[in-house]
Structure 1
Amino acid sequence: MKYFVRILILFNLIFVASCGSLPRQSNTILADREANPNVVALRKRLLEIAKEGIAFGQQDATAYGLDWYLQDQPEVLTSDVKKVVNKQPALLGFDLGHMELGNTYNLDTVPFALMKQHTQKIYEKGGLITFSWHLNNPVSGGSSWDTTSAVTEILKDGPVNQKYEDWVKKISMFFKSLKDEEGKQIPVIFRPLHEMNGAWFWWGKGRCTPEEYKKLWIKTQELLLANDVHNLLYAYSPNIMSSSEDFEMFYPGDDYVDILGVDIYNHSGDPEFMKAVSSNLKILKEKSSGKNMPFALSETGNFSMAANPEWWTEVLYSTIQNSGISWVMVWRNARKDHYFSTYPSEVTENDFMQFEQKEDILFLPELKSIHN
């Protein structure tokens, strides 16, 4: 009898010990098992948004635009989008690149203090916020686009590993500082180490093995958790994929991901772009099926806006309509030869107005009424 009891106790201990690493079996389990309630609510809300339509977002939308810059007036909330349709985007994207260096501005000269203020303002208005991180190469000291081998060095004990851990600690402090008026942490979407199936970043294809990339993703997440960051949803976001196998190559696993995304730009003309977006969103929909994961067109834009004055309605909308995505985010309006939304007097301005009128395209006012 004593032998039986000992076996039973041992079995229970093994079962309890393994529960923390069980695969995702519930659609309520997040990558961060200790995520705060606001994060759980955000994930549910993203699923609800997809039932109602598609949230429209833009990178750095409220920080600057064509011929204006809010560096000295962070309390102001405007955007090129608002100047055209009198509505803010439903989602704001910001980048943490250069925070790891201890700078007060990111790589696109956006003050981190402004990001924090605008995150708070947009969240109070019912909007969504997503962060990427174009961090420097920790080996060479170059930019994200410096493809000097670095991942292997991060994954082993040594000065580069220590540097990376210190960098994650810096962004951890920023994430934990994002709080609403009641002092509760604001839930945001974090899209790290993106476009890994391309060869242009030091963490990308050919710069490390798929297994090394997965280890880096998991290490980054574990470091954030160890720094007591519990207000993030983690978005996995490859560049354009050729197949489901392309998606799986670098995928760290369901236990480490909350949202699926893909980044696709219009480089080669409208027909190719539409074909790519359609096929890639089908891949995401298939991968999210059964897991109840939100998915999105996490980064996009047209490099030749002047080529089609009706691009928003004829190309983008017709391709993402009824796709199941929670949001679409276009890249930033940096200057007249590098912009991805519209602005007053721009060639697609009138068509963007028609795009905004689509019942299932959601801007900030429409998003506020959608709860989890």
Structure 2
Amino acid sequence: MTKRLLCALLAAVLCAAAYSQTPESAHAAKLDAKRASLLRYLKSVADSDRYLSGQRWSKPDWDEIKAQTGKLPAIMCVEYCAYEGNQKLNGGKAIQWREINPVANKHWNAGGLVRITCHFPNPYMEDGGGLRTRLGDGGEKLFSAESSPEKTRWLGMLAEVANGVKDLNKHGVVPIFGPMHEMNGGWFWWGSTLPTAAQRKRWDQIYSALEKNGCRAVWLNALSPQIPIDEKNGPDFGKMDVIGCDVYGFKSANNLGAVKDKAEIAERRGKIFTLSEFGAYSAHNPQDDREFGTYDLTELIRQMDAHCPRAYGAVFWAGPWGIHRSKNAKEFMNDKKIITLPDATYEGK
């Protein structure tokens, strides 16, 4: 075969490949590249001596952070479930992405990152709520081959969450997505009161719902500290990118050695690590704590340096756990080691 003919054939193949790429496949390829870029960025921050700041979204809280510190967090954590799954819906929708996505889009475009949490209402409850109500049958109805009202409600919620993530993707946002958080604890309906195999199936269902809808996200498994997990039979590590640890309480905030076991799992499994939630006061009734309002936020930097230097950051919870409710918020947010808005930018975003 002559060199000229070979070049002509190669050119024809390349042209055919270019024309065969549909707008949908081109968009998917672009999202894949954006997801890979986000993962590289998170890994680069984890490998540095800096940390991404983050907080649960609440406009009054964020306004107060700005007023106190002159800065805003780099990571905006938004909730997709109405009433955080803890109240009756009264006929309303369980999933509220249409209300929150515009806020998330704006934050992303301003130089920030977006994280999604889902406090799913209990699908065994006809009108929502039941966040902390155990499933009597271990959740069998949710993945049974037989149809049921419970399964219909559950799959409907997953489909709507996938629609929300796809809408973010359409606007160029690749979120950090962390469903079934703290599943190694027993307080949420998806938690350790379920068999480990059922938790794995539940994670698979959520993962499949997003994949089937063409969604792109960075997957976060946010765990509680000092409670062991079943690495062999729990959710598939191949279906997560980040392992996090949710830390609450004044004692733990002053000694982050509590996260050691989860940070070690992340390292062993080749995953990125983060403080997926942080609150310096009790998870329940924090304002009753004797120490409420006295935590020195600059101590968090020292604790992360000492106990989880490979974490990419920390996301504070809202309200009494927020950045604005502890001491030295301005010093913390203006420390050279803390990344704030609009500096969560990187090549390929």
Q: Distance in 1 between matches of 2:63 and 2:122?
A: 32
Question: Could you tell me which residue of structure 2 aligns to residue 174 of structure 1?
Answer: 164
115-124 or 33-42, which moves further after superposition? 33-42
Question: Quick check: 1:356 aligned with 2:337?
Answer: no
Question: Could you tell me which residue of structure 2 aligns to residue 139 of structure 1?
Answer: 124
137-146 or 195-204, which moves further after superposition? 137-146
Question: Could you tell me which residue of structure 2 aligns to residue 36 of structure 1?
Answer: 32
- After TM superposition, the structure 1 = structure 2 runs for residues 271-290 of structure 1, keeping only pairs within 5 Å, are 272-275=252-255, 277-280=256-259, 282-289=260-267
Identify which of 278, 303, 326 aligns with 1:300.
278
Q: Is the 8 A contact 1:313 1:354 kept in 2?
A: yes
Question: Could you tell me which residue of structure 1 aligns to residue 11 of structure 2?
Answer: none
Question: Could you tell me which residue of structure 1 aligns to residue 140 of structure 2?
Answer: 152
Q: Distance in 2 between matches of 1:362 and 1:369?
A: 13
Normalized per residue, the structure richer in helix is 2
The gaps in structure 2 that reach 5 residues or longer are 1-27, 282-288
Q: Distance in 2 between matches of 1:105 and 1:164?
A: 10
Question: Quick check: 1:161 aligned with 2:140?
Answer: no
Question: Could you tell me which residue of structure 1 aligns to residue 202 of structure 2?
Answer: 216
How has the CA–CA distance of structure 1 residues 225 and 370 changed in structure 2, closer, same or farther, with 3 Å as cutoff?
closer
Q: Is the 8 A contact 1:213 1:250 kept in 2?
A: no
Write the letter of the residue equivalent to 1:278: G
Q: Distance in 1 between matches of 2:293 and 2:160?
A: 43
Write the letter of the residue equivalent to 2:276: S
Cα deviation, residue 370, structure 1? 7.8
How has the CA–CA distance of structure 1 residues 103 and 39 changed in structure 2, closer, same or farther, with 3 Å as cutoff?
farther
- After TM superposition, the structure 1 = structure 2 runs for residues 1-372 of structure 1, keeping only pairs within 5 Å, are 36-52=32-48, 53-61=50-58, 63-65=59-61, 79-98=63-82, 103=92, 112-141=97-126, 142-149=129-136, 151-156=139-144, 157-159=146-148, 160-179=150-169, 184-206=171-193, 208-229=194-215, 231-242=216-227, 245-246=228-229, 248=231, 251-266=234-249, 269-270=250-251, 272-275=252-255, 277-280=256-259, 282-289=260-267, 291-303=269-281, 304=289, 306-307=291-292, 309-314=294-299, 316-321=300-305, 323-333=309-319, 339-343=320-324, 348-349=326-327, 351-368=328-345
Write the letter of the residue equivalent to 1:341: G
The gaps in structure 1 that reach 5 residues or longer are 1-31, 66-77, 334-338
Q: Distance in 2 between matches of 1:98 and 1:307?
A: 28
Write the letter of the residue equivalent to 1:355: F
Q: Is the 8 A contact 2:51 2:337 kept in 1?
A: yes
Q: What is the CA RMSD across the aligned residues, in angstroms? A: 2.9
Q: Is the 8 A contact 2:41 2:346 kept in 1?
A: no
Q: Distance in 1 between matches of 2:271 and 2:233?
A: 18
How has the CA–CA distance of structure 1 residues 265 and 97 changed in structure 2, closer, same or farther, with 3 Å as cutoff?
same
Q: Distance in 2 between matches of 1:305 and 1:341?
A: 17
Q: Is the 8 A contact 1:104 1:112 kept in 2?
A: no
Q: Distance in 2 between matches of 1:299 and 1:249?
A: 25
Q: Is the 8 A contact 1:48 1:370 kept in 2?
A: no
Q: Is the 8 A contact 2:34 2:174 kept in 1?
A: yes
Q: Is the 8 A contact 2:175 2:217 kept in 1?
A: yes
How has the CA–CA distance of structure 1 residues 368 and 139 changed in structure 2, closer, same or farther, with 3 Å as cutoff?
same
* Percent identity of paired positions between Structure 1 and Structure 2: 20
Q: Distance in 2 between matches of 1:92 and 1:305?
A: 29
TM-score by length of 1: 0.72
Task: Give the aligned length.
Answer: 302
Q: Is the 8 A contact 1:105 1:112 kept in 2?
A: no
TM-score by length of 2: 0.77
How has the CA–CA distance of structure 1 residues 367 and 225 changed in structure 2, closer, same or farther, with 3 Å as cutoff?
closer
Write the letter of the residue equivalent to 2:63: S
Cα deviation, residue 296, structure 1? 0.6
Q: Is the 8 A contact 1:49 1:370 kept in 2?
A: no
Q: Is the 8 A contact 1:301 1:340 kept in 2?
A: yes
How has the CA–CA distance of structure 1 residues 259 and 311 changed in structure 2, closer, same or farther, with 3 Å as cutoff?
same
Q: Distance in 1 between matches of 2:29 and 2:273?
A: 20
Cα deviation, residue 317, structure 1? 2.2
Q: Distance in 2 between matches of 1:320 and 1:312?
A: 11
